[in-house]
Structure 1
Amino acid sequence: MARWLRLTDHRDVGTATILLAVVAGLMGGVMSLILRLPALDLAPSWRQAALQHGPIVMFFSAIPALTGGFGNWFVPLLIGARNTALPRVAAVSFWLSVLGFLLTLAGLLDPRSVLLLPAALHLAGTAMVLCSANLVATVFNMRRPGMTIGAMPVFVWSQLLAGCLTIVAIPMLVAALTLAGAAPAQQAARFLFYPGFCIMILPGLGMVGQIVSTFCARPLVGGRSIVVAMAVLATTGFLAWAHQLLDEGAASDDSLFGVVSMLAVIVPTLFIATSWCVTLARAPSPARALLARTPGLFSLGFVAVLVVGGLASLIRLANDPATAPLHDAVSLGAVFALFAGFYYWIGRMTGKPYPELLGRLQFGLLLLGVAIMFSGAPSGGSIAAAGAALASLSILVFALVVAVTLSRRARVASHQWGPGAVTLEWTIA
Structure 2
Amino acid sequence: MRKTAWRGPLSQEKRRMPTDGQVRAGIGTGGFPARWNRACGHKTVGSLYLVLAVLAGLAGGGLALLLQVGQAGLDGAASAPWHRMTIDHGALMILFCALPALTGGFGSWFVPLLLGAPDMAFRRLNLLCWAGLAVSFALVLSGMATAPGMLLWCAAMLGLSIDMVATVLNMRRPGMALRDMPLFAWAQALTGMMMVIVLPVLAASLTRGLLAGTGGRQAELALRAFSGPEIGLLLLPAAGIVCQVVETFSGVALRLRGAALGAMVVLSVGGATIWVHDLFADGLAVQSVVRPLIEQATIAVPMLVLLAAWGATVLGGRAAFRVPMLWACAFAVLLVAGPVLALLGGPAAGHAVALPAALFATFAGFYYWIGKMTGRACPERAGRLHVALAVGGSILLLAPHQPAFVSTGVVLLGLSMLAFVAAIALTLAGRTRPLAANYWGPGARTLEWTVPSPAPRDSFAGILAHGARA
TM-score, reference length from structure 1: 0.90
Q: Secondary structure at the match of 2:118?
A: coil
Q: Secondary structure at the match of 2:104?
A: helix
Query: Are the equivalent residues in 2 in contact too, given 1:270–1:310 (CA < 8 A)?
Result: no
The CA distance in 2 between the partners of 1:216 and 1:306, in whole Å, is: 20
The CA distance in 2 between the partners of 1:304 and 1:96, in whole Å, is: 35
1:109-160 CA-to-partner distances (Å, cap 9, x unmatched) read: xxxx4xx101011111111110010010000110000000000000000001
Q: Secondary structure at the match of 1:37?
A: helix
Of stretches 408-417 and 94-103 in structure 1, the one that deviates more from structure 2 is: 408-417
- CA drift of 1:105 comes to 2.0
- CA drift of 1:30 comes to 1.4
| Cα distance change of structure 1 residues 322 and 81 upon mapping to structure 2, 3 Å threshold | same
- Specify the alignment match of 2:86 in structure 1: 51
Q: Within the alignment, does 1:10 sit opposite 2:42 as a pair?
A: yes
Q: Within the alignment, does 1:413 sit opposite 2:436 as a pair?
A: yes
RMSD of aligned alpha carbons: 2.2
Structure with larger Rg: 2
Alignment of 1:2-401 (within 5 A): 3=35, 7-37=39-69, 41=73, 43-52=78-87, 53-107=89-143, 113=144, 116-180=145-209, 181-182=214-215, 191-248=225-282, 250-254=283-287, 255-256=289-290, 258-284=292-318, 288=319, 290-291=320-321, 293-313=322-342, 315=343, 322-379=346-403, 381=404, 383-401=405-423
- CA drift of 1:296 comes to 0.8
The CA distance in 2 between the partners of 1:129 and 1:47, in whole Å, is: 31
| Cα distance change of structure 1 residues 94 and 397 upon mapping to structure 2, 3 Å threshold | same
- Specify the alignment match of 1:110 in structure 2: none
- CA drift of 1:328 comes to 2.0
Aligned-partner residue type, residue 48 of structure 1: H
Aligned-partner residue type, residue 390 of structure 1: L
| Cα distance change of structure 1 residues 21 and 416 upon mapping to structure 2, 3 Å threshold | same
| Number of residue pairs matched by the alignment | 409
Aligned-partner residue type, residue 51 of structure 1: T
1:41-94 CA-to-partner distances (Å, cap 9, x unmatched) read: 354443133112112221111111100000000000000001000001101100
| Cα distance change of structure 1 residues 377 and 155 upon mapping to structure 2, 3 Å threshold | same
Of stretches 357-366 and 54-63 in structure 1, the one that deviates more from structure 2 is: 54-63
Aligned-partner residue type, residue 200 of structure 2: P
Structure 2: tracts of 5 or more residues without a match: 1-24, 26-31, 453-470
- CA drift of 1:407 comes to 1.0
Query: Are the equivalent residues in 2 in contact too, given 1:6–1:91 (CA < 8 A)?
Result: no
Aligned-partner residue type, residue 370 of structure 2: I
Q: Within the alignment, does 1:402 sit opposite 2:424 as a pair?
A: yes
The CA distance in 1 between the partners of 2:309 and 2:248, in whole Å, is: 14
The CA distance in 2 between the partners of 1:29 and 1:223, in whole Å, is: 36
Structure 1: tracts of 5 or more residues without a match: 108-112
The CA distance in 2 between the partners of 1:360 and 1:14, in whole Å, is: 25
Query: Are the equivalent residues in 2 in contact too, given 1:351–1:412 (CA < 8 A)?
Result: yes
- CA drift of 1:213 comes to 0.5
Aligned-partner residue type, residue 18 of structure 1: L
Aligned-partner residue type, residue 439 of structure 2: Q
| Cα distance change of structure 1 residues 39 and 125 upon mapping to structure 2, 3 Å threshold | closer
Among candidates 442, 445, 451, match of residue 422 of structure 1: 445
Identical amino acids, percent of aligned pairs = 36
Aligned-partner residue type, residue 231 of structure 2: F
TM-score, reference length from structure 2: 0.82
The CA distance in 1 between the partners of 2:205 and 2:402, in whole Å, is: 33
Query: Are the equivalent residues in 2 in contact too, given 1:226–1:272 (CA < 8 A)?
Result: yes
- CA drift of 1:18 comes to 0.5
